[in-house]
């Protein structure tokens, strides 16, 4: 995926990686010379047409390892790289000017156009920073800051790329945009480096001696001008022109320096204003964010307050519901307590009546009280009181004394001096009460063939004791 990206993206990525502070860069202590650099590349001219690649390689292999051999027989030249600069120098000195198949070979160092000159460098740019900065454009062979005799930077540097396309790409980008190496906004200036051959120089045998200018210039030799002569006059004029050029160059350099200082001051002032404006803009953004945060906080507080009120209302409703339930429970509890008290009183009264009845039952000498007329006949009589000849209660009193007889008994009890409205009170002798009056057949009598035991008043007592509620 990385290979599909364009060079611009790769360059931006590399610049992003080195965009931070460049304090204390590691020093390049690698003193071992590189092999097969561009400084070891030789140009070979005047090759014959019958030169083969094998012969060309054998010609230079005796001086060391070779690489990238190339020959063009149509134009009779070739190129070759040796491993080190020293071996390339030996090959140049040994083969330059030698005759091969009737032709004199021309061997010299070849410049590939991979070297660039960097100008306007800050005094704080070192070799390591220069190499780090320009390595984003491609592989480097050397990056050096030029210094004077005191070791101070001259503001110039030399960058040598391993390949010519990388150098051309660097020239293009630095011309289209501004390339900064430090915090200063003064961009560097990049131009091709014209490498001058200061070692070999210009030999006499390579000059075109048949040229007319050669004959005219060489017609007179070195000399000093005689005072007052024609040569002295025009020699002084040329010196005055040299001095004018020097002064104007110095004046131009001073003017350029003053303009640079002025631009530097303006740049510093504009930078301060720019930083101040950025801080103001940042402050405005923070104030806006704070206002938004405050608004959000107010909305959240309002929501919390509404939630709190809702919870309070709900809690109040729950408390009211709980209180109503508690009141209902208390009322139910009081009602049950009252019912239990009534029930206990009824039980006590029933127990007391049972004891009285038991006492009356055990004491048979007690005479029954007078029974008034209740409208139902004499309840103490036999057949004349409404009972059948067999002691069966009249209709409405039920088969066992009946529930209908309760009303008669109650009515009778209310008028019989001691019976309560519920049929309670002191019963007559031999009567034990009940919900339905007499139960079963009378004691001592009953059905047919079982004559009852007559009482003094003609009444027969029941054979069973009625229940009392």
- From first to last of the 469 residues of the chain, give the pLDDT tens digit: 445 578 889 999 999 999 888 888 888 776 677 888 888 999 999 998 889 999 999 999 999 999 999 999 899 999 999 999 899 999 998 998 888 888 889 898 887 788 999 999 999 999 999 999 999 999 999 999 999 999 999 999 999 999 999 999 999 999 999 999 998 888 999 999 887 666 667 777 767 888 888 888 888 888 888 898 988 999 999 999 999 999 999 999 999 999 989 998 998 899 899 999 999 999 999 999 999 999 999 999 999 999 999 999 999 999 999 999 999 999 999 999 999 999 999 999 999 988 888 888 777 644 444 444 444 444 333 434 344 444 444 444 444 444 444 443 343 344 444 444 444 444 444 444 444 444 444 444 444 444 444 444 444 444 444 444 4
Q: Supply the pLDDT for residue 198.
A: 61
68-90 b/e with 16+ CB inside 10 Å = b? ebebeeeeebbbbbbbbeebbbe
DSSP 144: E
Tokens linked to 96? 């330059």
User: How many whole angstroms separate alpha carbon 9 and alpha carbon 359?
Assistant: 124
Q: Supply the pLDDT for residue 240.
A: 94
Q: Supply the pLDDT for residue 363.
A: 73
Where do the domains of the chain lie?
32-110, 115-202, 234-362, 371-469
Q: Supply the pLDDT for residue 214.
A: 86
Q: Which fold has domain 32-110?
A: Alpha-Beta Plaits (3.30.70)
Q: Supply the pLDDT for residue 422.
A: 43
376-390 b/e with 16+ CB inside 10 Å = b? bebbbebeebbbeeb
User: How many whole angstroms separate alpha carbon 188 and alpha carbon 166?
Assistant: 17
pTM of the model: 0.56
Q: Supply the pLDDT for residue 199.
A: 65
Q: Which helix (DSSP H) or strand (DSSP E) does residue 99 occupy?
A: strand 99-100
What CATH number has the domain spanning 115-202?
A: 3.30.70.330
Q: Supply the pLDDT for residue 410.
A: 41
**Contacts with 251 (C-beta within 8 Å, 6 or more apart), sequence order:** none
Q: Supply the pLDDT for residue 4.
A: 55
Would you list the DSSP string of 334-371?
Answer: HHHHHHHHHHHHHHHHHHHHHHHHHHHHH-TTPPPPP-
Beta pairing class for 106-109 and 153-161: unpaired
User: How many whole angstroms separate alpha carbon 80 and alpha carbon 94?
Assistant: 15
């Amino acid at each position: 995926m990385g290979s599909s990206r364009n060079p611009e993206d790769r360059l931006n990525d590399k610049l992003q990686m080195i965009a931070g502070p460049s304090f204390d860069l590691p020093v390049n202590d690698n003193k071992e010379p590189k092999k097969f650099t561009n400084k070891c590349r030789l140009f070979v001219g005047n090759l014959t047409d019958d030169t083969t690649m094998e012969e060309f390689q054998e010609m230079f292999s005796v001086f060391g390892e070779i690489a990238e051999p190339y020959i063009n027989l149509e134009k009779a030249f070739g190129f070759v790289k040796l491993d080190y600069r020293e071996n390339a120098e030996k090959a140049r000195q040994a083969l330059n000017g030698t005759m091969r198949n009737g032709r004199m070979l021309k061997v010299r160092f070849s410049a590939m156009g991979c070297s660039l000159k960097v100008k306007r460098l800050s005094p704080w740019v070192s070799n390591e920073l220069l190499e780090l900065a320009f390595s984003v454009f491609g592989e480097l062979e050397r990056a050096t800051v030029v210094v004077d005799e005191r070791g101070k930077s001259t503001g110039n540097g030399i960058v040598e790329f391993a390949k010519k396309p990388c150098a051309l790409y660097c020239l293009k980008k630095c011309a289209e945009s501004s390339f900064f190496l430090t915090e200063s906004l003064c961009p560097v200036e990049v131009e091709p480096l014209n490498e001058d051959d200061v070692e070999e120089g210009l030999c006499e045998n390579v000059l075109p001696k048949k040229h007319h200018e050669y004959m005219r210039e060489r017609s007179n030799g070195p000399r000093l001008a005689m005072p007052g002569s024609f040569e002295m006059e025009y020699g002084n004029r040329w010196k005055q022109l040299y001095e004018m050029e020097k002064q104007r160059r110095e004046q131009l350099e001073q003017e350029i320096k003053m303009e640079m200082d002025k631009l530097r001051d303006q740049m510093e002032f504009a930078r301060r204003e720019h930083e101040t404006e950025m801080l103001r803009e940042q402050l405005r953004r923070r104030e806006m964010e704070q206002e938004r945060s405050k608004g959000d906080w107010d909305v959240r507080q309002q929501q919390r307050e509404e939630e709190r009120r809702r919870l309070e209302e709900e809690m109040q409703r729950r408390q009211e519901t709980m209180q109503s339930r508690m009141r209902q429970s208390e009322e139910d509890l009081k009602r049950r307590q009252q019912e239990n008290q009534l029930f206990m009183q009824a039980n006590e009264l029933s127990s007391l009546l049972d004891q009285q009845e038991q006492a009356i039952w055990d004491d048979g000498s007690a005479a029954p009280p007078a029974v008034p007329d209740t409208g139902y006949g004499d309840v103490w009589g036999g057949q004349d009181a409404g009972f059948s000849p067999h002691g069966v209660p009249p209709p409405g009193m039920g088969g066992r004394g009946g529930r209908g007889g309760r009303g008669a008994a109650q009515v009778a009890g209310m008028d019989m001096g001691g019976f309560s409205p519920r049929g309670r009170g002191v019963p007559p002798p031999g009567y034990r009460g009940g919900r339905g009056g007499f139960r079963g057949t009378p004691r001592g009598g009953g059905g047919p063939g079982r004559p009852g035991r007559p009482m003094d008043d003609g009444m027969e007592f029941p054979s069973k004791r009625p229940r009392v509620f």
